[in-house]
Structure 1
């Protein structure tokens, strides 16, 4: 490879990383993206969070961590993302996507970053239904349907 091509590839890689290196913080029940508030948040418990639209204060996303009634056995734990306005529920055992050593605020910040990266949420905190469909196809494991009670 020539030096110019190598430099072009390097610059492209850095620009992609900078694009996804958005600063998401949750403070005082507000979700900020690069300093601009995009959503409202409510911590219900250590295992539950709700996110609300800035436009009409409607609950758009509900997160819940489910331990399957076996708190000491983590191999059957999963989380659910309920996109309430779109009537879409996503269940996944990939706890690594959201885990942050029991710091629920940091875990929620990771979820918002993930949704932004996957373009499920746009820069204004609005849900993109087309990208949500793709997100569901990629990550939904439909755990409830496979669970016997």
Structure 2
């Protein structure tokens, strides 16, 4: 009896999670949220992507993966999210937020989902300056400033 209740509860939780999840897909250089284009994407290299506003084609976000000039040593790798229109840069070593087994398109989809969840980007692809500041406070590790070169 208790197992049946746990099973029903588990299925309800999974069902709600699927219901509220947002589908983000990058296809033909378009970032689609539930089938609606919210941004344009440009793959510059395996380690760099740019995102552009649909409204005015302005570059709003630049993603860079930095290997810290040590390609064989991954413990010092980090990524940069540069919110260009707001002149705010976020550097983080939390690669679990963006990595997806070297599939850069899937990794970018994961970043967009993360930014949507944090309300940095709204459902129309517009940046929220107040939420970018909060996002920076939460995740920025200021790596470049504390790295000797």
Aligned to 1:101: 101
Matched, 1:117 2:117: yes
Q: What is the CA-CA distance between 1:59 and the residue it aligns to?
A: 0.1
Matched, 1:18 2:10: no
CA distance in structure 2 between the partners assigned to 1:133 and 1:11 by the alignment:
35
Q: What does 1:21-60 correspond to in 2, within 5 Å? A: 21-60=21-60
Cα distance change on mapping 1:129 and 1:13 into 2, 3 Å: farther
CA deviations on 1:46-100 (whole Å, 9 max, x unpaired) are: 0000000001000000000000000000000000000000000000000000000
Q: What is the CA-CA distance between 1:12 and the residue it aligns to?
A: 8.7
Please give the TM-score of this superposition, normalised by the length of structure 1. 0.89
Cα distance change on mapping 1:13 and 1:102 into 2, 3 Å: closer
Q: What is the CA-CA distance between 1:18 and the residue it aligns to?
A: 3.3
* RMSD, aligned CA: 1.8
CA distance in structure 1 between the partners assigned to 2:14 and 2:26 by the alignment:
28
Write out the 4+ residue segments of structure 1 that deviate beyond 3 Å after TM superposition: 10-18
CA distance in structure 1 between the partners assigned to 2:136 and 2:148 by the alignment:
22
Aligned to 2:68: 68
Cα distance change on mapping 1:11 and 1:26 into 2, 3 Å: same
Q: What is the CA-CA distance between 1:139 and the residue it aligns to?
A: 0.2
Q: What is the CA-CA distance between 1:127 and the residue it aligns to?
A: 0.3
Aligned to 1:138: 138
CA distance in structure 2 between the partners assigned to 1:14 and 1:117 by the alignment:
19
Cα distance change on mapping 1:14 and 1:128 into 2, 3 Å: farther
Gaps of 5+ in 1: 1-9
Please give the TM-score of this superposition, normalised by the length of structure 2. 0.89
